[in-house]
């Protein structure tokens, strides 16, 4: 995805920072109600994806990769346009932890856009890309994820896609828009 550009984390909008904080608080409440998991055995990422596509197009899963752990039960197949996020859970064994990535697209033709979010729970890292549809080199994505921080923004100057995400250590929130 050479056409995308990473934007400094400071570009995260105040609205999206507030949304992230709100979703993080709600996820912590939900997490407190779940059966307790032995923290010595497993790391669990609670993920939320929000589709804010201006043309009200649902996003379809295109690809996924799991370096450590797996989504439980699976990543959502479709992300509809909504202000409410779609939730997923990713579990991984310790010491490796929960580390994975998923790609969604708004179509399959040459003008389609794709949005990618990759996360590493234990390192509190997240990486996003927005850009034209095409193959994903998960080795490159892992290098970029390892070099990232706890928030990430990507803007596609060709098709106008934008991806933003934050990771607080057990909750990952990503926004996809155009």
pLDDT at 69 over 90: yes
Q: What is the mean pLDDT of the chain?
A: 84
Sign of CA dihedral 177, 118, 157, 15: positive
Q: For residue 7, what pLDDT is reported?
A: 47
The residues with which 127 forms a beta bridge, in sequence order, are: 118
Q: For residue 163, what pLDDT is reported?
A: 93
The residues with which 118 forms a beta bridge, in sequence order, are: 101, 127
Q: For residue 2, what pLDDT is reported?
A: 41
The per-residue pLDDT for range 72-115, each reduced to its tens digit, is 999 999 999 987 888 999 999 999 999 999 999 998 777 788 99
Q: What confidence tier does 26 reach under pLDDT thresholds 50, 70, 90?
A: low
The per-residue pLDDT for range 116-174, each reduced to its tens digit, is 999 999 999 999 999 988 899 999 999 999 999 999 999 998 878 899 999 988 889 99
The per-residue pLDDT for range 41-57, each reduced to its tens digit, is 889 998 999 998 888 89
Q: What confidence tier does 33 reach under pLDDT thresholds 50, 70, 90?
A: low
Give percent of the chain above pLDDT 90. 51
Q: For residue 153, what pLDDT is reported?
A: 93
Rounded CA separation 70/50 (Å): 20
**8 vs 5, 73, 117, 146, 176, CA distance in Å?**
10, 33, 16, 16, 17
User: What is the helix (H) or strand (E) element at residue 14, kind and residue range?
Assistant: helix 14-33
Q: For residue 9, what pLDDT is reported?
A: 44
Q: What is the pTM of this model?
A: 0.84
Q: For residue 8, what pLDDT is reported?
A: 45
Q: For residue 17, what pLDDT is reported?
A: 73
**Hey, how many other C-beta atoms are within 10 angstroms of the C-beta on 127?**
26
């Amino acid at each position: 995805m050479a056409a995308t550009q990473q934007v400094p984390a400071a570009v995260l909008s105040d609205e999206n920072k507030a949304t992230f904080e709100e979703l993080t608080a709600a996820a912590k409440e939900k997490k407190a109600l779940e059966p307790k998991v032995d923290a010595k055995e497993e790391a669990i990422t609670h993920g939320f994806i929000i589709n804010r596509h201006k043309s009200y197009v649902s996003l379809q899963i295109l690809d996924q990769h799991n370096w450590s752990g797996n989504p439980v039960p699976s990543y959502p197949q479709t992300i509809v346009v909504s202000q409410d996020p779609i939730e997923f859970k990713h579990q991984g064994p310790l010491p490796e932890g929960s580390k994975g990535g998923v790609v969604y697209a708004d179509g399959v033709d040459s003008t389609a856009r794709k949005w990618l979010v990759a996360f590493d729970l234990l390192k509190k890292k997240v990486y996003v890309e927005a850009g034209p549809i095409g193959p994903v080199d998960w080795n490159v994505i892992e290098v970029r994820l390892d070099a990232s921080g706890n928030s990430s923004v990507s803007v596609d100057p060709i098709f106008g896609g934008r991806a933003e995400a934050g990771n607080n250590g057990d909750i990952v929130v990503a926004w996809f828009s155009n």
